[in-house]
Structure 1
Amino acid sequence: MLTDLVVSQKVVKVNEFTVVGVPIRTDEPVEETGTGLIPEHWQTFYKQQLANKIANKVNGNTFALYTEFEYNQKMDFTFALGYEVLPGGELKDDMREFIIPEGEYMVFTTAIGPARQVVVEAWAYIREWAKKNHRAYKIDFELYDERCIDPEYSQVDIYVSI
């Protein structure tokens, strides 16, 4: 085990794929306080059943994307929740298409626990890791698959572009 926060990390090659999701803009200082926009965005995504508006889903895995990083004092970025899709789907409402580029990603696997807690703790570990390692800041994503059916007993893979 690497730490109590991240149980494994490895480099993987990812083939290009497309995610359709609902984006918001936010920044690192706001999100690091724990009172940022991301938790509310998750609630809205599920309460309004926005997943049902995404056509041509490949499977039921949810993706949380971090992209369009702005290198300013606040490190603004776009956060989106969505699903991998097949080409040709119609975009509804505030949906956007995001291309996950082919490339190498460092995959951090969280400990098992409440999803919100283990992901926040893993990102704290990743921020420390990034001080000594190369992070490309292209697009990073969290993969919520069958290990996340119970939000209180979840394990999440976090893909960081390198």
Structure 2
Amino acid sequence: MKFQNKDYAMRILENEHQYLMHLMEDWHQIVLNFENAVYQQEEATVAFKQLRTLLIQFIEPLKKHTEKEEQYFFPLLGQYIGKEQGPIVTIEAEHEEIDAYIGHFLHHTRVGIDQLTVEDMTAIAKDAGEAFEVLMVHFVKEQAVLFPMTERIMKAVDQDILLEQLNTCII
């Protein structure tokens, strides 16, 4: 993998994005299959249960990643560019939007999956699809806007502090 950023702290976040996108590929394919109506009832139920399992497994590394950004990266970058408006506010709102889509999906799949029709599963799977779309755009924004901004404006001492704070595992 070739990193887009020179700053090592941003490379950690970029690497985490790559890992999360790898995990997302597995469950997004199931979402696409629902969108393209490829499943009959029995295989739809199996796929839907797999989608739920994969999303549940995805939550922990995603949460650890977003917590690192919200606890360390955004506050430190915010000291340079402000925290009340601008890109950090937008990015944090996207974190909430992603959580809402995944939470809504999980809410509707707590019980009774075996009683859902293919149409029901297709409708519920749209939440996972929306989460995927927001995540992809979100990663691009961070990597194209925030990460390069960090390299340009953040003092080396703060970059070093951030590197130490972010150098933890999300799995």
* TM-score interval for Structure 1 and Structure 2 normalised by the shorter chain: under 0.3
Q: Which has the higher helix share?
A: 2
TM-score normalised by structure 1 residue count = 0.21
Q: Which has the higher strand share?
A: 1
